[in-house]
Amino acid sequence: MADYFPGEIHIGGPIPRRLLNRLIAAIVAEGVSLDNYGDRPAIQESLVKAFEAGDVVRLYDEEACYGQFEELEGFLARHRIHFNRHSDSRHEFNAENVYYRGGKRPIVLFATEEGCPLLPCDEVTAVLDHAALDDAAKLRALRRKAAPPEMRPITPVQLVSRTGRKGGRRRCPKRTNPTSPA
């Protein structure tokens, strides 16, 4: 049997304009509020305005399944849309923060009720006890664990017309490249 407790998700960064209607449909399907916990669910018109305003879009649900937005988070990760999620703790479940900035998978960290990320002691001691690392390498490893790149602040929504090619590569015109086989 599922437990339901508060969760919030913040969406930002570059979003392809062609995905906006599908993203809004996914948000409406979650039944989340755009204003605060306990408010009525967001509707399409208010969500369009929120995304076009060019700020971070904040969504709330006081009765989220395990404090998560499983379908919405999956949609966001599949389309590499940046988000942060915080879920409160309840019973035997710890509060957690989730950070996603377009990589392979989100970073999940335990957190305080206020949203401050926590590191498990066993992870810290494993780095400190690692015999092959010098002190500087241990500090760098702890820094990566305590503040991974995914934790950088989420940027405001930027609706983009099209996405660039992976790696920033451009096609080479066949006629202007003397080494081209054509």
Among the listed residues 113, 73, 55, the one whose alpha carbon sits nearest the alpha carbon of residue 89: 113
Digit-by-digit pLDDT tens for the chain (182 residues) are 578 888 999 999 999 999 999 999 999 999 999 988 878 999 999 999 999 999 999 999 998 888 899 999 999 999 999 999 999 877 778 889 999 999 888 988 887 777 788 888 999 999 999 999 999 999 999 988 888 878 889 999 999 986 555 554 444 444 444 333 44
| pTM greater than the 0.95 cutoff | no
Q: Under a CB-based contact definition with an 8 Å cutoff, are residues 101 and 82 in contact?
A: yes
Q: Under a CB-based contact definition with an 8 Å cutoff, are residues 160 and 20 in contact?
A: no
Domain-wise residue ranges, the chain: 4-164
Q: How many degrees, rounded to 5, is the angle at CA 41 between CA 39 and CA 42? A: 110
